[in-house]
Amino acid sequence: MADDDIFEVQRLYPQIYLACHKDHVRATSTKWRISSQDASILVHLDRDSGMSPRALAAHLGVAPSTLSAALSRLSELGYLTNQPGERDRRKREIRLTARGAEAIASTSVLDADRVGALLKKLTPSERKAAVNGLALLAEGARRLKD
């Protein structure tokens, strides 16, 4: 891997963050009643692909018992589902719900209007490439913790 690639990620990511960042309050006293820790759990979940609580705990670097209470609370709030796995009913799978996705969007450090304006400056194919690139970097981040 070229040092130039590392430098470019270091140089480019802050440009996006600074252009789209907003001051926000992410606390349990807001409408969504989620903390920064809760939000960090939710952003690692997907609406389609289930993840085991054990895998999520390992990825986040916390004990499964520590994560359990947060998952129960987030499930009660309707932000995630925690159901038996489709392939193995003995294993649990957690998934983000539509309400959980709304909570993420509403409490994000990135302003939706600014992100939308940024994306509108790109052609449809550029937008697709940009989103795919971010998805690849996120996948790399998940693999880094595994």
Number of H helices, E strands in the chain: 7, 2
Q: Which two tokens stand for residue 116?
A: 């939308």
User: What sign results for the dihedral spanned by CA atoms 49, 75, 31, 56?
Assistant: negative
pLDDT at 78: 95
**96 and 79 Cβ atoms separated by less than 8 Å:** yes
Which pLDDT belongs to residue 92? 87
- Sequence-distant (6+) residues with CB within 8 A of 123 are none
Give the alpha-carbon dihedral of 29, 32, 38, 44, to 10 degrees.
-160
Q: How confident is the chain (146 residues) per 10-residue block, as mean pLDDT?
A: 81 84 62 84 90 89 89 95 79 93 86 91 95 90 73
**Helix/strand/coil (H, E, C) string of 69-134?**
HHHHHHHHCCCEEEEECCCCCCCEEEEECHHHHHHHHHHCCECHHHHHHHHHCCCHHHHHHHHHHH
**pTM of this structure:** 0.75
> Bridge partners of 82?
94
Copy the structure tokens of residue 142.
């998940």
Q: Sort 41 into a burial class: Cβ within 10 Å, 0-12 / 13-18 / 19+.
A: buried
pLDDT at position 66: 85
